[in-house]
Amino acid sequence: MIIVLMGVTACGKTTIGKILAQQLSLPFIEGDNFHPKENIVKMSSGVHLTDEDRYTWLRALSNELHVQEQKKGAVLACSALKEHYREILQQGVQKKIIWVYLEASEKTLRERMKDRKGHFMPEELLRSQLETLEIPAYAYNFSVEKDPETIAKKIADIIA
């Protein structure tokens, strides 16, 4: 089973993903760790990524998902903002990926971004992510206004 927690920056993909992975006894994959250094530098400088910038990153994640599918599966935290990006991720996986969209108000996202320390994504890139986001009709949607443990449990109950 491959589960992708998707959404814009600061929606809780990593926090909820780690909890969900533990609940399901699956490995957790932090999508940000697969970005090439050039992407991190670009985003840290307040420059949004292009589709071309994201391609290498998405292919690397797709390959990792393929590896994990051969084992027992995984939970991936990845923005996966566009349908095209989700198609690239799916290419490495034989079975259908379970997509979980984590949604939050822009106000909540901005508050979270101000509170987090040491993350490369500056607040000024949030608007471009929100404008780029294509919410998939086939994803399970969860508001992140509740605590992460409750959200992860609800996700696990639905997909397990």
User: Domain segments of the chain: what residues?
Assistant: 2-159
Question: Residue 122 above 60 pLDDT?
Answer: no
Q: Which helix (H) or strand (E) covers residue 76, if one does? A: strand 74-77
pLDDT classification of 9: cutoffs 50, 70, 90: confident
pLDDT tens sequence across 60-74: 999 999 999 999 999
Tell me the residue type at 84.
H
d(CA 121, CA 132) in angstroms, rounded, equals 15
pTM listed for this prediction: 0.91
pLDDT at 14: 94
Rounded to 5 degrees, φ, ψ at 122 are -80, 155
d(CA 109, CA 10) in angstroms, rounded, equals 6
Q: Which of 41-45, 49-53, 86-90 has the highest mean pLDDT?
A: 86-90
Question: Residue 118 above 60 pLDDT?
Answer: no
The CATH number assigned to the domain with range 2-159 reads: 3.40.50.300
